[in-house]
């Protein structure tokens, strides 16, 4: 039993270390204005160059397809992906839209855990519920107590949408349906997809 716990702990720590490295890499690379997006749209893809528009257009609707959407107090939370990765964690992502009359900072979504309180307005208070296995999974965190999730620094302006993500320990392989819960929002039923 102790060997199994040690292996599970090693897997979780490896997943946390890999994810932390990826988060830091993404944070270091994301520095530009909107010029990169304009350049990408202006450059035709390989399928567009060949005149094969049907193949180029097919993936776009799948990316926008929502697994779930919940609303509360003028905030809309859309989940577009819930993917189980080989590293032993589950990454949930989507968009949050501020439908209130002012800036929304996400303070009600922070965690009550002492270790995660310093994350401020973030998805640190999110959790995954495996009803079949009767378990609750909390957001992963790095060794400094930062959640492996989106932090809404500066808040979200009225009518603005922002991408978000949160990572959790993955439920057992046989579990394909879970509930995603964020404080002040109703639970969202999700179907887990297998990562690449």
Mean pLDDT for 41-65 is: 45
d(CA 67, CA 80): 5
Q: Do residues 85 and 136 both lie within one domain?
A: yes
Assign residue 114 the CATH number of its domain. 2.60.40
pLDDT, tens digit, for every residue of 50-60?
A: 444 444 444 44
How high is the pLDDT of residue 26?
Answer: 44
Q: Do residues 93 and 179 both lie within one domain?
A: yes
Banded pLDDT at 83 (limits 50, 70, 90): very high
Give the number of other Cβ atoms within 10 Å of residue 175's Cβ: 17
Q: Do residues 162 and 182 both lie within one domain?
A: yes
Higher pLDDT pick, 124 / 3: 124
Q: Do residues 25 and 121 both lie within one domain?
A: yes
Which two three-digit tokens encode residue 57? 């257009």
Number of domains forming the structure of the chain: 2
Q: Do residues 58 and 73 both lie within one domain?
A: no
Q: How many helices (H) and strands (E) does the chain have?
A: 5, 9
Given 65, 82, 108, which residue is the final one in a domain? 65
Q: Do residues 159 and 182 both lie within one domain?
A: yes
Q: Do residues 42 and 120 both lie within one domain?
A: no
pLDDT exceeds 70 at position 76: yes
How high is the pLDDT of residue 49?
Answer: 42
Q: Do residues 26 and 51 both lie within one domain?
A: no
Contact 94, 80 (CB under 8 A): yes
pLDDT exceeds 90 at position 92: yes
Q: Do residues 57 and 76 both lie within one domain?
A: no
d(CA 25, CA 180): 27
Range of the domain at 51: 32-65
Q: Do residues 46 and 73 both lie within one domain?
A: no
pLDDT, tens digit, for every residue of 154-172?
A: 889 999 999 999 999 999 9
Q: Do residues 129 and 178 both lie within one domain?
A: yes
11 Cβ contact partners less than 8 Å away, ≥ 6 residues apart: 87, 88
Q: Do residues 21 and 51 both lie within one domain?
A: no
pTM: 0.64
How high is the pLDDT of residue 196?
Answer: 59
Given 17, 50, 65, which residue is the final one in a domain? 65
């Amino acid at each position: 039993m102790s060997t199994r716990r040690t292996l599970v702990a090693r897997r979780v720590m490896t997943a946390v270390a890999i994810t932390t490295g990826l988060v830091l890499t993404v944070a270091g690379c994301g520095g530009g204005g909107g010029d990169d997006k304009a350049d990408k749209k202006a450059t035709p893809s390989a399928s567009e160059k060949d005149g094969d528009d049907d193949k180029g257009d097919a993936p776009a609707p799948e990316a926008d397809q929502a697994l779930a959407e919940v609303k509360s107090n003028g905030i809309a939370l859309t989940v577009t992906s819930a993917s189980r990765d080989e590293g032993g964690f589950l990454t949930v992502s989507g968009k949050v839209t501020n439908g209130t009359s002012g800036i929304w900072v996400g303070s009600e979504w922070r965690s009550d855990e002492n270790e995660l309180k310093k994350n401020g307005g973030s998805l640190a208070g999110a959790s995954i519920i495996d009803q079949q296995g009767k378990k609750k999974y909390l957001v992963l965190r790095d060794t400094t107590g930062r959640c492996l999730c989106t932090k809404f620094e500066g808040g979200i302006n009225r009518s603005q949408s922002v991408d978000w993500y949160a990572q959790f320990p993955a439920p057992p392989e046989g579990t394909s349906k879970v509930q995603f819960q964020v404080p002040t929002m109703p639970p969202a039923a999700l179907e887990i997809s297998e990562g690449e």
